[in-house]
Chains A and B, each alone.
Chain A
Amino acid sequence: MIEVKNVNKTFDDGYQVLKNISTVFETGKTNMIIGQSGSGKTVLVKSIIGLHKIDSGKIEYDGRDLAKMKMNEIRILRREVGMLFQGSALFDSLTVLENVLYPLEMFSDKSNDEMQERARFCLNHVNLEEKSFGLMPSEISGGMQKRVAIARAIALQPKYLFCDEPNSGLDPKTSLVIDHLIHEITKEFNITTIINSHDMNSVMEIGDNIIFIEKGVKSWQGSKDDIFHVDNESLNNLVFASELYKQVRKANQ
């Protein structure tokens, strides 16, 4: 569980991007942060990971206060964190298999054979075929790159999984596959997953706990089932922007 308490963040130019945000990201659930571009979603995620220093407030990983940790403690904590980046961020000088092996080689005390076995297990788990293991990231599709990135993120059996726009640049079918993969992994390995997303299909599909951020303020929190009955104009404008979802909403009300 990750707990965020009264978090404030102001940029160097004086713009306050996060205003007194408090929320809980629960374990075993897909926690989604949604909001318009520039609302502060990415800053919130980066603050939780510790890439941005917050002005005030508290971020606790299962009771461990991030602000009180020394740099080497943060680095140890980060070994419990998996991250799926918007652009996959695969190491382009390494093959698919080597990318997944990389965190294992850095931090695991397993033998070479055991590491190979774990990497192959992770790649198989995200439905990648053996023949793609030797390919370079530039030789595989965007959807496959995302799957390799997920395999790399879960290689060290993380407690926390962060996903930044996991569906950006993917077609709707592949997006759905990636969404379900993240959801399954979250349930199967009992991970605290935080997803920063614009994609309303994802929100409707796998949003166990949804946090809506508007101009740096947490404006609403609930599940995908609650979202149809919310009286929040900004949230409704974002979620039900398309005609399709307007009709879905009507049907649900």
Chain B
Amino acid sequence: MNLITDIGKYFLLMRRVFVRPDRARMFFRQFPRELEKLGLASLPIVIIISVFIGAIMTMQTQLNTSNPWLPDYITGLVTRDTLLLEFSSTIMCLILAGKVGSNVASEIGTMRITEQIDAMEIMGINSANYLILPKVTAFMVMMPFLVIISIAVGLVGGYLVGVFTNIITTGTYLIGIQYAFIPYYVYYSIIKSICFAFIITSVASYYGYNAKGGALSVGKASTNAVVNSSIIILFFNIVITNLMLTK
């Protein structure tokens, strides 16, 4: 019953979010701030995680596919496709659900419990639109760039394994990452990540916006935002993959 109520309230909130802003200039003032806060500020963690995962994936794939029947370049191919299809879009989004989701939920939740949202409402401002729309749109715009950077940096991580160890040669790795490349996978990955960006910011905003009480409820909103957006991402990962990759 709670789930149905929450879904209903979520859509009612979204109906208030996706309307024309009261003042366009206020939206365009908030929008670049959110690009910076949610997108650019996430870049360091995306780069760090991607480079290490790219390297580890290359090492593990090479070690587990040491077989005379398999060509050595298979390691590069597997690393590339794993990064493209799953890691840089889905797993990275799960990580960002933790970072961005908790940030959004706690920011809006704190504004709710300190009556800042009530103050906006009493001024006659559509607070849902003013606070949530710039966050959702900014993160949806930034997400494809984060995914492309994650893929690129992950591939560099794999290359570094070739440079610093004798597990694989750089030449073999480079052949592997170029072999049988399907450009459609990039579109698939980007479309998926844009959907996940919407889920992360809108779900986190919903929990923050509905926080009640004191500091404890902000913490609870933040936890709920991360847990529930992660579950929804995993569910939609199956739906989108089924729609876009299966014949």
Contact surface of A with B, Cβ cutoff 8 Å: 49, 51, 74-79, 81, 83, 85-87, 89-92, 103, 105-107, 156, 162
Contact between A91 and B122, CB atoms less than 8 A apart:
no
Interface positions of B from 104 to 146, Cβ below 8 Å from A: 111, 114-116, 118-119, 121-126
Which secondary structure characterizes the binding site on chain A? mixed
Q: How far is the CA of A86 from the CA of B119 in the complex (A)?
A: 11
Report the contact-size class of chain B (Cβ under 8 Å from the partner): 10 to 19
Q: Which of A74, A90, A103 contacts B123 (CB 8 A)?
A: A103
Number of A-B contacts (CB under 8 A): 54
Q: How far is the CA of A162 from the CA of B22 in the complex (A)?
A: 23
Contact between B124 and A79, CB atoms less than 8 A apart:
yes
Instruction: For B23, list chain A residues within 8 Å (CB).
Output: 105-106
Instruction: For A74, list chain B residues within 8 Å (CB).
Output: 124
Contact between B116 and A92, CB atoms less than 8 A apart:
yes
Residue on B nearest A74 in the bound complex, by CB: B124
Q: How far is the CA of A51 from the CA of B125 in the complex (A)?
A: 13
Q: How far is the CA of A75 from the CA of B22 in the complex (A)?
A: 11
B26 at the interface (CB under 8 A from A): yes
Q: How far is the CA of A91 from the CA of B125 in the complex (A)?
A: 14
Contact between A79 and B116, CB atoms less than 8 A apart:
no
What sequence of 0s and 1s flags, for each residue 11-37 of chain B, a beta carbon within 8 Å of any chain A beta carbon?
000000000001101100000000000
Residue on A nearest B25 in the bound complex, by CB: A105
Q: Which of A75, A85, A105 contacts B119 (CB 8 A)?
A: A85
Closest 5 CB pairs of A and B: A78-B124, A89-B115, A89-B119, A75-B124, A79-B124
Contact between A79 and B118, CB atoms less than 8 A apart:
no
Q: How far is the CA of A201 from the CA of B119 in the complex (A)?
A: 26
Contact between B122 and A87, CB atoms less than 8 A apart:
no
Contact between A85 and B115, CB atoms less than 8 A apart:
yes
Contact between B123 and A79, CB atoms less than 8 A apart:
yes
Contact between B124 and A89, CB atoms less than 8 A apart:
no
Q: Which of B26, B116, B118 contacts A106 (CB 8 A)?
A: B26
Interface positions of B from 72 to 128, Cβ below 8 Å from A: 111, 114-116, 118-119, 121-126
B239 to chain A, nearest CB (A): 34
Q: Given A87-B114, A89-B114, do A107 and B119 touch, yes or no (CB 8 Å)? A: no
Contact between B116 and A91, CB atoms less than 8 A apart:
yes
Contact between A77 and B124, CB atoms less than 8 A apart:
yes
Q: How far is the CA of A49 from the CA of B106 in the complex (A)?
A: 27
* 29 A/B residue pairs, CB under 8 Å, sorted by A: A49-B122, A51-B118, A51-B121, A51-B122, A75-B124, A75-B125, A77-B124, A78-B122, A78-B123, A81-B122, A83-B118, A85-B115, A85-B118, A85-B119, A87-B114, A87-B115, A89-B119, A90-B116, A91-B111, A91-B116, A91-B119, A103-B123, A105-B23, A106-B26, A106-B125, A107-B22, A107-B124, A156-B123, A162-B122
Residue on A nearest B23 in the bound complex, by CB: A106
B11 to chain A, nearest CB (A): 17
Instruction: For A156, list chain B residues within 8 Å (CB).
Output: 123
B4 to chain A, nearest CB (A): 18
Residue on A nearest B21 in the bound complex, by CB: A106
Residue on B nearest A75 in the bound complex, by CB: B124
Contact between A106 and B114, CB atoms less than 8 A apart:
no
Instruction: For B123, list chain A residues within 8 Å (CB).
Output: 78-79, 81, 83, 103, 106-107, 156
Q: How far is the CA of A87 from the CA of B23 in the complex (A)?
A: 27
Instruction: For B25, list chain A residues within 8 Å (CB).
Output: 105
Instruction: For B111, list chain A residues within 8 Å (CB).
Output: 91
Contact between A83 and B122, CB atoms less than 8 A apart:
yes
Q: How far is the CA of A74 from the CA of B126 in the complex (A)?
A: 11
Contact between A83 and B119, CB atoms less than 8 A apart:
yes
Instruction: For B114, list chain A residues within 8 Å (CB).
Output: 87, 89, 92
